[in-house]
Amino acid sequence: MKRSAMLLTAFLCVGHANAQTMFSGDVVRILDGDTVEVLDAGKRTHRVRLANIDAPERRQAFGEVSRQTLATMAYRQQVEVLDQGGDQYGRRIGVLTVNGRNLNAAMVAKGMAWVYTRYNTDRTLPALEQQARTNQIGLWADKNPNPPWDFRRAW
């Protein structure tokens, strides 16, 4: 009996270690097209980088439009954040939803962000990006859009 209880405890701990967590709060600041600040019920602020996508930098073509697009969907909205961990800058990495709408996917579908292929784990995003490209939506209206990772490298 003791051995089976220990195995069950070990299994639950491993499962918990791999589980993603969820938190909610109000979006109080939009930093750019892929980063927001969320104020939770405990009055703690979390800087959240939207998972799987990379939006133009603010000084880049479409950077301000991308930020404004995210602001229209998220600013002063109650969001759910599927927290996928942190990054080296102290931000949470997450998927944001408002009323069940995935904002990460919406940014790609609106042509306001690239799929960040280096880190992407969402299999639905490449098709959304391809559709935006084909229809020349958002940044894909530009004849030669510069991915933000290339733009940052040139700084």
For the chain, first and last CA: distance in Å? Answer: 62
Q: Is the dihedral of CA 117, 97, 37, 62 positive or negative?
A: positive
Residues 129 and 108 sit within 8 Å (Cβ to Cβ): yes
b/e burial code for range 64-100 (CB count within 10 A of at least 16 → b)? ebbbebbbebbeebebbbbbbeeeeeebbbbbbbeee
Tokens standing for residue 145: 């859009």
Q: Please tell me which residue in 3, 44, 47, 49 is annotated as part of the active site.
A: 49
91 is catalytic: yes
Q: Please tell me which residue in 57, 67, 92, 129 is annotated as part of the active site.
A: 57
Residue 55 and residue 127: Cα distance in Å, rounded? Answer: 17
Q: Please tell me which residue in 67, 91, 92, 129 is annotated as part of the active site.
A: 91
47 is catalytic: no
29 is catalytic: no
b/e burial code for range 126-140 (CB count within 10 A of at least 16 → b)? eebbeebeeeeebbb
| Residues annotated as catalytic (active site), given as ranges | 49, 57, 91
